[in-house]
A and B are shown apart, each in its own frame.
Chain A
Amino acid sequence: MSSADGQVVRAAGVSRRYGEGEAAVDALVGISTEFERGRFTAIMGPSGSGKSTLLHILAGLDQPTSGTVVLDGEEITGLDDGELTKLRRDKLGFVFQFFNLLPVLTAEENLVLPLSIAGRKPDREWLEQLIRTVGLDDRRTHRPSELSGGQQQRVAIARAMVSKPAVVFADEPTGNLDSKASADVLRLLRQAVDEFGQTVIMVTHDPAGAAHADRLITLRDGGLVHDAVPGSTDEVIELMKQID
């Protein structure tokens, strides 16, 4: 249960096969890697490279065919639904491509939703800090339909952080946004890492997004092909060209 080593997620020999027999597809082939606490990692790769599958398995949304995942000192492969639910409440935050806010709740209610679900009281100070950070102080009683796409995604990011999870997983968080809103969202994720020490693992196809990260992992055909500091946007574009 120690976190002294600085590793918050560790994947060991993770493979994922879909289907059986001749129609079987290997989405991931023996991936082993570790993610350090308080860092921002981007995962990239062409379509079908297995990047989303990796994220889903790291987050316990999908189970590997073989291999193990240890999250914050706890092996999550093989947990049942109740244990996974508890894990999601306590240790995970999610940001999705489509903002996935509840249309019937206000921005603030959406923000504290994970705590409400878990039946916990929000830490008032932390909550105010979050709302200020995402810049929605004057929008807290608005419903999602009254917010722009970028604003909605900022609420979703704040929601992912509200329970101070071990890891925030972001699945194409800018996939549905214009460039200005995308830049805001990426800045916000960066800020989360820098100011609050939040661990963020993000799947993206946006080179500018990857350039915000501390580390870039690149996948192709279910295997790890590149793992380094991302550099500038242009360098990332160049890297992706090579991989394709």
Chain B
Amino acid sequence: MRHVISLLIENESGALSRVSGLFSARGYNIESLTVAPTEDLSMSRMTIVTTGSDDIIEQITKQLNKLVEVVKVVDISEAAHIERELMLVKVRATGKDREEIKRTADIFRAHIIDVTDASYVVELTGNQGKLDAFIGAIDPALILETVRSGVCGVGRGDRVLKV
């Protein structure tokens, strides 16, 4: 089962490697991992997308909690939540492809944020499925680069992850 784990961690050097080291040492999967400081700069928020049985997910959250620098851990996928990922795609855009890509971008409510004679950079935000669908909708031969941020997530409504 796929899970989205959010955690707050002290913003100290080496904190990220403690988390990633934990996953590799214990053989857990990381599908994606994003991290950046929060409004409180002494703390970072991390979103980890992982897969595993209920037992494994329970161990993952316990092991993460055990790390001295981890302040709080929540499996946000246990209840209603929102996931978003940012993608930048550089595509070859010449001739009739220019129009076609623009149309596809509009359909996906993506933005074209860089334009040259021969290329576009398309910015698209959404859940993983939407981003995958956009990639599927474009001729693979036109894709020059794909950059994905990994998933960010937040619980809906009253569910707040804060110290």
Verify that A and B bind, or say they do not: no
Could you tell me which A residues sit within 8 Å of B by CB distance?
A: none
Could you tell me which B residues sit within 8 Å of A by CB distance?
A: none
